[in-house]
Structure 1
Amino acid sequence: MGEPQPRGRFGEYGGRYAPESLVEACREVDEAFREAWADPGFRGALARLLAVHAGRPTPLTPAWRLSGELGVQLYLKREDLTHTGSHKINNVLGQALLATRMGRRRLIAETGAGQHGVATATAAALLGLEATVFMGERDIERQALNVFRMRMLGAEVVPVTTGSRTLKDATSEAMRHWVGATGDSHYCLGSVVGPDPYPWMVREFQRVIGDEARGQCAAELRTGVPDHVVACVGGGSNAAGTFAGFADTSARFVGVEAEGGAGAARGRLGVLHGCRSLFLQDDDGQITEAHSIAAGLDYPGVGPEHAHLRDLGRARYVTVTDDEAVRAAVRLARTEGIVPALESAHALAWIIRAVAGGELPAGSTVLMTLSGRGDKDISTLKELV
């Protein structure tokens, strides 16, 4: 999982399918990122921010009671313990530093569950930048706490009232807004989707998850490497960052999608938001709406590198229903004292199901990225539990 092929390709996926007005902006981001990523000063500044502001490294937590019940050794990479409560802060701090290096004074972002929006607002406040966050009207209703947090941090939250009023439409509006604001603004895309260089740039900023986990597993596990590495997948940034740390090992990768947003599991080749990948489509090639109880997984596609990993057989992509995710969230809360984000609960739900079905043999070691905490989902869970 290194740099993409020329023109931002991962096999037949990726690329830069952007309006002419954004092609130059994407090229500038690409050049700036390559220069910054090769600069020890930039890498050092980011590492310090991740340590003193975001709280890295995050721990690797053995799920002792749940492991005993399941008969496997389950370890949780605790991204829920970062400042702002999810893995999103890793990518945003990197892009915010890049934006200041490029002389940009405003961050534009999209958000579904609100965690990327909160992280963007947080980084903007920290570095003295402005922030404008596009969020679907439906997500604003179900993630009211995160909307308040963004506004308290000084960000402008723009409701998106078109289409399904969720993450896909928020992303579309954010990109349209960037067209007229490339001179002073940086589009802080939140996942491994979009036009080149975003899929691999975001993965590199999230690689800290996998690199940390690799070292922690080496110290904690007898074999040094888990049998399975599991993470939830919407666009797929936490999974991509985690997988990257174990790319050269024998660990088997499993990406867990929402049943109603299964781009990797059931998508077809298409183009959306600037990249060629796998998307839910009808017979006429029109993008169909995704659905998930977890707003961060409510996206009709998957990042191009995930599509490529699927084709190579390096990663397997499976789906989980809303009900399974809710039950998994409750089980983790009652066995380990951890309330996960509903996105993360999808990954745990597959592990529970795979153990019951014999896909995960007794004694297997499983690393799961717990991508976010469940505070934002309490209102939803309160109605269902």
Structure 2
Amino acid sequence: MLNSTVILQASQDAEWDSFLSAHPAGHYTQSSLWGQLKARFGWQVIRILIKDTDQIVGGAQILTRHLPIWGHIGYISKGPVVHPDHPQVIQLILDEISTLARREAIFLVSIQPPVDTQTYLDILIKNSYKVSSYYVIPPCTVVIDLTQSEDELLSHMKRTTRQNIRAAQARGVIIKEGSSADLPAFCQLKQMTESRSEFVHYDQCYYEEAWHQLAPGGNMKLWLAYFEEELLAGLMAIYFGQWVVYAWAGSTRLYPEKRPNDLLFWHAMLWGKEQGYHYCDLGGISPIVADALLQDREPPDCKEKGIARYKLGFGPMHTFPPAYDNIFLLKPKWMVRKAIAFAWGKDRKFVSQLIRGVKR
């Protein structure tokens, strides 16, 4: 018999994490480890668990946040996750979400499904979810099948990428595994990269907390590229379930001809393969840029263009399902769009202006 449990202040849960790790679609953003990280930065973690007797057969981790003016917003990244033998569990979870949203005054729930099966998407649509105009995890990325041989992995790369990897090896670039003592140096690399590209900046405490939550269990590795003891580049990769995901990377502008980033990505990928991981996700690329590059069209001039071109050198583009939104408490459409933008840190200027206007 199936029974459900809703945990409003969810903490670390080894049983839930174990279920995710064994599931082909289990993703680190659904893990209790990730939930603990987000809880340190303003999010409430709610977990819905569905069990058959004492065994978990499905569930969803919801991150909720209170926004000034609007109320609460909820987000489910790469979930719900359900056992393949219990597809009916998806509906049970959505019923619990609906009840929860109305009870806790969550006016919007955004779900980014883990799999692109028509049955899954049909259930979302049946429950009044509609394709969102925003995403947190980009639906387009590069996914590498790590069950291939090393030669096969190289053969699926663009020739320039293969040449860059071999050039880095020949020119003396060395990859080392970092520790917590290397986090300040990595954060400096991130700041250099973000200042050049104008990407979203996280404070050092965010990376330190991510390390604190994920590294002790072996779910995070810090890889560093050196040339003659000079730190050139760094990569924080997350290893969870069957997946390797490149989370954050940074580099200097020293010795660009030595191609440290290519060797860094290759090393993190090979290490995951050796440990038995099945897939490597390079961390998302802009859908507009990726589509233009794959069709041999010049992409729009934006900050994501160079990164998309770089990642596509390692393999083909993969598209995950888009996010689906459900509005449980009636709000004007413009308010919903602004609320989503603010929740993901994309429209803070608008919100500050709105709050000042209300105070007047």
Length-normalised TM-score, structure 1: 0.26
Which of 1 and 2 has greater Rg?
2
Length-normalised TM-score, structure 2: 0.27
